[in-house]
């Protein structure tokens, strides 16, 4: 029996992620490009995984697209919401996951899954940027640090600083005031992490938490936010190496399911 290759591509607002899955089990290739919907990102990320796996499009039995830009990919065979894909993708990488917290560039979501990784309930942020990756972007810029450094800097914090505003613009003003009063950047960053954790925590509580809780999405790489969230929710929160690819993994898995179903 020859191998079945499926592709899952997650076209987000700020990044494109792609996975090639072999026989619905092994990750053959992965790639991420920091360019999302409406850019060359999706095409480039597809080429990247094909090159890395020494395959071409004809070898791929099914391409499933997800993410904000999922309707824009011509070559996709089908598309599914990133909610279902994140659920399934998280389950694949962390079998005991029953709650998934995903903080993306522009939104935040909390998913509940059953033991098979199927989505049973979800809640998304409403109204604004607070509690999303965008919030961290704005703050990082004000503090003149790189997003990637937020985690390490917050770990050095020695003092509690609260950034309480619900509104991102007001929060920015709070941060600036703190800087003007010579507060330590590390302390401010930890306060910002708590702010995000507070917003996302409220979202999570609305849907109810069930262990194991897993965090996915770009912001999952920031252990500062993760540990703030653990403190906020009083639960252990796990993450895993390919957290950013969760949506793409889930899409590739659903693609495989389709192939099996069709044959």
- Where do contacts with another protein occur on this chain (CB under 8 A)? 68, 80-84, 107, 119-124, 126-127, 164-167, 170, 173-174, 176-177, 198, 202, 205-206
Which of 48, 106 has the CB closer to another protein? 106
Sign of the CA dihedral 217, 111, 213, 132?
A: positive
CB of 210 to another protein, least distance (A): 14
Hey, what are 46's tokens? 């597809």
Which of 129, 153 has the CB closer to another protein? 129
Residue 139 CA to residue 213 CA, distance in Å, equals 27
CB of 66 to another protein, least distance (A): 9
CB of 47 to another protein, least distance (A): 26
Which of 19, 175 has the CB closer to another protein? 175
Which of 83, 139 has the CB closer to another protein? 83
CB of 120 to another protein, least distance (A): 6
CB of 170 to another protein, least distance (A): 4
- Angstrom CA distances, 52 to 4, 12, 172, stand at 17, 22, 42
Residue 235 CA to residue 229 CA, distance in Å, equals 8
Q: How do 99-103 and 213-216 pair as beta strands?
A: parallel
Helix axis angle, 168-180 to 185-207, nearest 10°: 150
Task: Write the burial class of residue 6 (CB in 10 Å: 0-12 exposed, 13-18 middle, 19+ buried).
Answer: buried
Which of 6, 198 has the CB closer to another protein? 198
Residue 98 CA to residue 115 CA, distance in Å, equals 7
Residue 213 CA to residue 257 CA, distance in Å, equals 25
CB of 2 to another protein, least distance (A): 30
Contact 16, 10 (CB under 8 A): yes
Candidates 199, 69, 18, 184; CA nearest to 124 is 199
Which of 123, 259 has the CB closer to another protein? 123
Which of 165, 221 has the CB closer to another protein? 165
CB of 18 to another protein, least distance (A): 19
């Amino acid at each position: 029996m020859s191998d079945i290759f499926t592709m899952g591509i997650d076209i987000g607002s700020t990044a494109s992620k792609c996975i090639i899955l072999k026989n619905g089990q092994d990750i053959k290739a992965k790639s991420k490009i920091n360019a999302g919907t409406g850019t060359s990102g999706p095409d480039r990320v597809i080429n990247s995984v094909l090159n890395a796996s020494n395959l071409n499009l004809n070898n791929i039995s099914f391409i499933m697209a997800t993410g904000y830009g999922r309707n824009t990919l011509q070559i996709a065979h089908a598309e599914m919401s990133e909610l279902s894909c994140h659920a399934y993708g998280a389950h694949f990488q962390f079998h005991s996951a029953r709650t998934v917290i995903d903080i993306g560039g522009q939104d935040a979501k909390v998913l509940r899954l059953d033991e098979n990784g199927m989505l049973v309930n979800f809640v998304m942020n409403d109204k604004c940027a607070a509690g999303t990756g965008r919030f961290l972007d704005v703050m990082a810029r004000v503090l003149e640090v790189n997003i990637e450094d937020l985690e390490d800097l917050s770990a050095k914090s020695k003092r509690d600083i609260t950034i309480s505003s619900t509104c991102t613009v007001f929060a920015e003003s709070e941060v600036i005031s703190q800087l003007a009063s010579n507060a330590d950047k590390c302390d401010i960053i930890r306060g910002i992490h708590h702010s995000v954790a507070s917003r996302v925590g409220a979202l999570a509580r609305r849907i109810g938490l069930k262990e194991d809780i897993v965090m996915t999405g770009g912001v999952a790489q920031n252990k500062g936010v993760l540990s703030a969230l653990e403190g906020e929710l009083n639960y252990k929160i796990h993450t895993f190496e390919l957290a950013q690819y969760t949506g793409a993994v889930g899409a590739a898995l659903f693609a495989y399911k389709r192939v099996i179903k069709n044959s």
